[in-house]
Amino acid sequence: MKVTVRPFLFIRDALGDQREIEVKLNSSATISDLLTTLRREYGLPDEIPIGRGVFELFHGNEVRNMVILKDGRNIRFLEGMETKLEDGAEIALFPPVVGG
């Protein structure tokens, strides 16, 4: 199956400034499998240098500082990292955003 990944802001920069990435996965893949593929095959780093600091995306296999949407829904309200993917799913990767 294929899913479309849309990274935003400096996550996009870390993935070569690609607006969309089509990723091939097996038919039983989860969000966890997708992130493993993005790390291994597309170079998604564990940390991203920001200014004089470092922005941590992963600590081991734990996801940090990233909001993940599957077809517009936050995976925190689905099955988290075990959320199953379907052919044609759209995944958005955002760093956390704050403002006022």
Res 67: pLDDT: 93
User: How much of the chain exceeds pLDDT 90, in percent?
Assistant: 68
In a domain, 74, yes or no: yes
Res 100: pLDDT: 61
Question: Which residues, other chains included, contact 53 with Cβ-Cβ below 8 Å and sequence gap of 6+?
Answer: none
Q: What is the mean pLDDT of residues 17-40?
A: 96
pLDDT digits (tens, 9 = 90+) for 16-26: 999 999 999 99
Q: Which CATH number characterizes residue 87's domain?
A: 3.10.20.30
Domain hosting 66: range is: 2-94
Sheet strands side by side (includes 21-24) = 21-24, 2-7, 90-94, 67-70, 73-74
In a domain, 100, yes or no: no
Specify the number of domains making up the chain: 1
In a domain, 11, yes or no: yes
pLDDT digits (tens, 9 = 90+) for 40-83: 999 999 888 877 888 788 877 788 888 999 999 999 999 999 99
In a domain, 35, yes or no: yes
